[in-house]
Amino acid sequence: MPLQATAGAATYDAFGGGVAAAAANYIEDVFQTWLYTGTEASLTITNGVDLSTKGGLVWMKGRSGATDHALYDTARGTTKDLVSNSAAAETTQSTGLTAFGTTGFTIGALAKINTSSATYVSWTFREQAKFFDVVTYTGNGSNRTVAHNLGSVPGCIIVKRTNTTGDWQVYHRANTANPETDHLVLNTTVATGDLNTLWNDTLPTSAVFSLGTDSTVNASGGTYVAYLFAHDAGGFGASGTDNVISCGGYTGNGSTTGPTVTLGYEPQWLMVKNSTGTSNWNIIDNMRGMPVGSADAFLEANDSDAEATADLVTPTATGFQIVSTSSEVNTSSSTYIYIAIRRGPMRTPTTGTSVFVPVTQVLATGSVVTTGFVTDLGISRPLSSSTGGIAESRLTARYLQTSGTGTESAGASTWGYMNGYGPTPWSGSGLSSVAYGFRRAPGFFDVVCYTGTGSATTFSHNLGVVPEMMIVKRRSAADDWWVYDAATGNTKYQVLNSTATPTTSSTAWNNTTPTSSVFSVGTGTPVNASAGTYVAYLFATVAGVSKVGSYTGTGTTLQVTCGFTGGSRFVLIKRTDSTGDWYVWDSARGIVAGNDPYLLLNSTAAEVTGTDYIDTFSSGFEISSTAPAAINANGGTFIFLAIA
């Protein structure tokens, strides 16, 4: 019998730590892409997914070399290896996956999953109603049904005979107009075929799926495993209604402006196959690389090839768009099927250290900034040279200079780390620097890429709350950084690369306050030139984690309350009633009772030391009586972003 993942059961919280609320399910608990480097010794992958008590599947593949895929599931047990790119029977690999744990799994020294210095990816699917289920059964050679615990109608079913050779048979709800009559084969590139002895020409239900008499799915005495994927079944998020997995389809148009697929969420993982023509089963994820405007890293479920790159898809806040004419994803008039999984985390963070870390170190090409979490935005700059800061994100894989207007540049940044990122040292290579790592998380921070229309419009985001600060930069041409903040309002914008006071103009935010799902832009070229490409960084207040706010200066010691308990580790301040720089302090360089070094985001000037302008304060930060008018003029108005 398959292990059943009970909806609503308490789960390990891989994002915030501890145990999740019993009534809610989150994608980060049931799916993880995890990158690792082989050691040729026993290796434990701690990804926060409970497999030993909940059940599930681990799918591994070598990235740096040609290796077979390796699939292990809790229903068949440890060491039981299947290969998605082969029709071969299950084999026992004593050095394969050796243990399923409550927070991940352990592998042995099997070469295809653990060669020293080789790079690998693992995808972990935990059993959970309305997401994924594993079923094992013994064939009877007669038309029949098999029960499952998916709790919804499957969108895709993948079946493999385990005791002897047999193709991987695939049912997919978007395969044809009558998907119950057709099938695809995971271990080959062939197009869909009609075969009534597979699914008995019967659609699956929320309780069972049907089988015919074909030996690949139901030979008498044969043993089988089936992997079931839900489709838009809800069941996730604090409300219990959010979708996290979709099994859909689209029709190719053969253009680089390809079909746009609306999922209602940004995907982190995609598997795409041309169902009406010959093509590979392409797998793309945002950990190996699914950036906007540059090449995606892909593997193919049906072959052993090493990872390759090509610009195939662009993720959006609500789905993805095909951007290639490759037959793999976009032959005109061909039908394509996909499985898409929602980007996480879905939980609102409870600690600042889980979403933000400041680090000081010497940065050079190949340096890694360790943050302790998957990092989505890095801001870095040398401390001593006249070199401005740069911002670069996982979603763009390119950098922009915070103190300038220049276009986006391809840098040396690397994002294939589970606990940090590799920054682009820019022109400050080999110099002592500060780097900030941010993680996208509901309520705290989001990154949105969009293409301008030239007309006032809205764009979707996934912050989940109303943004209180938005920093927008045109990527494709030289333009200022425009900044929205709630205290200044929707009729004005500020400029991150300038000391200027706020400017009144409807061309920035169309005089419209953002909502919990969209933000508005006018016709100004820094935010919405026709066909211009943009990145937007969105911030909001999370109790005990971050605070976007404002204050009025006193000219004397001033305590700014943010609702923290251990003080601020990051403070950004800008004067709004007069000109003023964008000041930044952080705990890595020192927010203490004495002197506190600061940098200016809008300037290439070196770090300033020997000044005591802000001090520690447990519930936020304190501005000292010695602070200049730029951050504490009596009667002056100021905005700030603070992170605990």
- Tens of pLDDT along 506-535? 999 999 999 999 999 999 999 999 999 999
* pLDDT tens-digit readout, 212-232: 999 999 999 999 999 999 999
pLDDT of 23 reads: 59
Does 23 or 339 have the greater pLDDT score? 339
Q: At CA 369, angle to CA 367 and CA 372, rounded to 5? A: 145
Q: Which two tokens stand for residue 630?
A: 């730029």
Query: Quick check: 560 and 617 in contact, CB under 8 A?
Result: yes
- 8 pLDDT band (50/70/90 cuts)? very low
pLDDT of 4 reads: 30
- 387 pLDDT band (50/70/90 cuts)? confident
- Between CA 5 and CA 126 the distance in angstroms is 8
Query: Quick check: 184 and 337 in contact, CB under 8 A?
Result: yes
Average pLDDT, the chain: 95
Please determine, for residue 459, whether its predicted confidence score (pLDDT) is greater than 60.
yes
Please determine, for residue 189, whether its predicted confidence score (pLDDT) is greater than 60.
yes
Q: Which two tokens stand for residue 285?
A: 């994820």
Please determine, for residue 44, whether its predicted confidence score (pLDDT) is greater than 80.
yes
* pLDDT tens-digit readout, 335-363: 999 999 999 999 999 999 999 999 999 99
Q: Could you identify the residue written with the tokens 């952080």?
A: 586
Looking at beta carbons, which pairs linking 577-583 to residues 24 or more positions away fall under 8 Å? 577/501, 577/633, 577/636, 577/637, 578/501, 578/629, 578/633, 578/636, 579/499, 579/500, 579/501, 580/499, 580/630, 580/631, 580/638, 581/499, 581/630, 582/496, 583/613, 583/630, 583/631
Q: 54: how many CB neighbours lie within 10 A of its CB?
A: 22
Please determine, for residue 19, whether its predicted confidence score (pLDDT) is greater than 60.
no
* pLDDT tens-digit readout, 582-640: 999 999 999 999 999 999 999 999 999 999 999 999 999 999 999 999 999 999 999 99
Q: Which residues pair with 43 in a beta bridge?
A: 107
Across residues 299-312, what is the average pLDDT?
Answer: 98
Question: 155-164, 172-181, 381-390, 564-573: lowest mean pLDDT where?
Answer: 381-390
Across residues 62-81, what is the average pLDDT?
Answer: 98
Question: 2-16, 68-82, 291-305: lowest mean pLDDT where?
Answer: 2-16
Please determine, for residue 16, whether its predicted confidence score (pLDDT) is greater than 80.
no
- Between CA 225 and CA 358 the distance in angstroms is 46
Question: 19-33, 67-81, 555-569: lowest mean pLDDT where?
Answer: 19-33
Q: Going by C-beta distance under 8 Å and a sequence separation of 6 or more, which residues neighbour residue 192?
A: 175, 176, 182, 183, 184, 275, 276
- Between CA 571 and CA 598 the distance in angstroms is 10
Across residues 297-307, what is the average pLDDT?
Answer: 98
Please determine, for residue 22, whether its predicted confidence score (pLDDT) is greater than 60.
no
- Between CA 55 and CA 77 the distance in angstroms is 10
Please determine, for residue 13, whether its predicted confidence score (pLDDT) is greater than 50.
no
pLDDT of 207 reads: 98
Across residues 389-416, what is the average pLDDT?
Answer: 95
CA distances from 489 to 419, 483, 492, 512 (A): 36, 11, 6, 9
pLDDT of 540 reads: 98
- 14 pLDDT band (50/70/90 cuts)? very low
Q: Do the bridges between strand 223-229 and strand 132-138 make them parallel or antiparallel, or are there none, so unpaired? A: antiparallel
Task: Note if the bond before 345 is cis, omega within 30 degrees.
Answer: yes
- What is the pTM (predicted TM-score) of this model? 0.95
In this structure, what DSSP letter does residue 345 have?
Answer: -
Q: For the chain, give the percent of residues with pLDDT over 70.
A: 96
